[in-house]
Structure 1
Amino acid sequence: MATQHNIALTRALAELPGPLPAFGVIHIAIPHTSRFTIVGNHLAQHAELSLVAIGIGVHIQSLPVGSLVGIKALTARFAEGEMRIAAALRELEAHGYLRRAHVRLANGRMTTRTVFCNQPGAVERAGRVVVVPEVAPSVPEPPPAPAPPPAPEPTPVPEEALPPVRVPPRTAPKPPRRPLPQPRALTPELRQTASAILADLRNHAEELVLSEADVEELVPGVAAWLEREVRPDAIRHALTADLPQPPKYPAKIVRHRLTMLLPPPLPDAEELAPAARRTLVIPLQNCDRCDRAFRSREPGHCRGCRDLAAAA
C-alpha cells in the first residue's frame, strides 16, 4: 500500500506546473466541491494568535449557525483543557474575531449571543451585523425542472421585531493591549534570572532572537512569573512551544505569551487547609434562686433548684 501511495504522489508532483522548490512545503491543491470553509490568511497565518486560538477560530468558522462554542463544548470536543481553550477564546475576542453581545428576547429575558466575524471590522453596516453566508464556487447545474404551482408566500417578519446585535463601528478604536505583568518587587536576583531566561531562548528556539532592548523591556514580565514560583524550564516551554512559522516579531510573541498565559499565584497553606471545626460552647448562667453558676443557653434555675421545685 505504501508503494502505491508513493507512486500516486510522484505522478501528482510530476503534473504540477513549473519547477518544484528545493525545500519547504509543496501544495497539491484539489478543488473542493462540498463540505469546505473559506478561511482568510489573516486568521490562518496570524502573527500574534497562538496555534490553539487559530485552530479554534477555524473550527468555529466551519460550524453551522446555532452550534455551541462555549468552553465546556470545546473541551468535550478537543483534547486541550479548559484553561488553554479559555485563553484561546480570549485571544480571538481581543483581536475582534469573537464577540459576545447581550440581547433581550421577545419574552423579556436576557441572553448572550456569540458572534464570530470571519473578517473583523469588515462585516459591519450601520451598527448592525450583516451576516454574509460563504457560498461554494458555482458548478454547472442540470436544466431546471418545470416550476411547481406558486405557493402562498409566508408573512415576512419585520426587521424591527428582531433584536439587533450591536457591535462597535468600523472606526471604533481597538481595545487597549493588556499591560505586561509586573512583579511586586523587581529584586536584583529576579532581574538577573529573568534576563538569563530571555537571552537563552534562542538556544531552544532559534527564531526567538531578542535584542538587548527587548530583553530589558520583557524582564518584568518574566520576573512576575518567577515571583509566582514558576520554574524557569516551565517559563521556557511556555514561550517556545508551538511558535508560528515564520515568527515575524519575536519580541511581540514573547510579550503576548507572558501576558496572556500568566498563571495565578499559588494559594497559601491556610487556603488549602480545611476549615477548623468550631467547638460548641454553652455560656455560664447564674441561678436565679441560689446564685450558683450553671451552663445553659437561657437564664433560669440550676438543676438542683429545678429538682427541689419538682419534688415540692
Structure 2
Amino acid sequence: MNFTDATTATLTDGGSTYDGIDTPSTTDDGISTPIINDLANTGFRGKPASSQAAEDVSQLIGRFGFKMARTLQKLAIKKALFADHKLLRLPCLKYADNFTCRVTKLYAKVPIDYRDSAPLLWWLWDPLLDYLQLTASTAGCKLEFTPAHETDISLPYTIVINLGYKRGGDSIELTASYGRLFCEQRIFDAPIAKFCFLETERYGKSTIATLNIDRHTYKEGGCLAHMLNYLVPRSGNLWRLAMEASPPDKEEILVVAFAGTCKAKDDQVYMSESQGQQCLNLLQRSPPDAKV
C-alpha cells in the first residue's frame, strides 16, 4: 500500500526580532493539517493522525528543549493539561477510541500493562515525549491498544503503534485491524519530521535562524490560554484543543511547572539559547498574578 510521506514543518528565518524576542506565528506555522478519513466507514484509509501528532511533539521539544519534555511527562502535569480524557479522542475512531494499553520499550524485559481506559492520544503522549528526547536512537517503543471492556463495539478495533529508527530516520508505524469474521488490517508507516532550528548566516558566520515570527511582540495581559497557544501553536492540534478544558484550580501548578523549564546555571540537561528564549517567551504570557 502506497503511503504519502508525513508532512514536514517548514520554518523560515524570521530575519529580525522585536524587542529582542522571537515569537512563533500561530497562524503561519508552515504545517498543513491532513484530512483524516472516517476509519469506521472507510477501513483506515488516509493519513493517520498519529503521524502528525509525532511531528507536533517533535516541534514542542525542539522549541523548548528536553527540560520541558521531562516536565510534561509528569503525571500531575499531564492530568492538569488533559483533565477531560474524552477531548483526546480521535474523531476518526468516534466512540471506539477508548483503550487499555500495553507499552513495551526496546530492551525492556517486561512490558507495562495499564489497566485504566483512555483514548489513544492519552497513551501516546508520554512515549513520544520520551522517544524524541536525547536517547531516541535507542529508545524504541511499542504500544498495543485493546478496546476497554466498557465500550460497546460490534467490530472492535485493535491498534498497535511502533516508534523506532527505520530507513535512516525516526518512524512511526500504525497497524490497525478490526472485525471478527471479516477481519481487515491496514498498516501505515511514515517518517517523523524532527524539528530543528534552521541555520543561516549573519556577517559571514553561521547562526541559528529564529522561528516564524509574528509582526508584533506579545503585549497582552497574559493568561494560561495564551501560554498553551504558544506551547502548541498548530491550529487543529487535538492535544491543544483538549488543553482548553484545563480547570482553573490547575492553573497555578501549570504556570509553576512552565517556569521551572527555563534555563538555569546548574542545569545538567542541555538547552540552546534559542530554546531558552522560547521558554522566556512562554512566561511572558503567564497570568498577571504569576508575575507579581
TM-score for the superposition, normalised by structure 1: 0.20
Higher relative contact order (CA 8 A, sep 6+): 2
Give the strand-richer structure, 1 or 2: 2
Larger Rg belongs to: 1
TM-score for the superposition, normalised by structure 2: 0.21
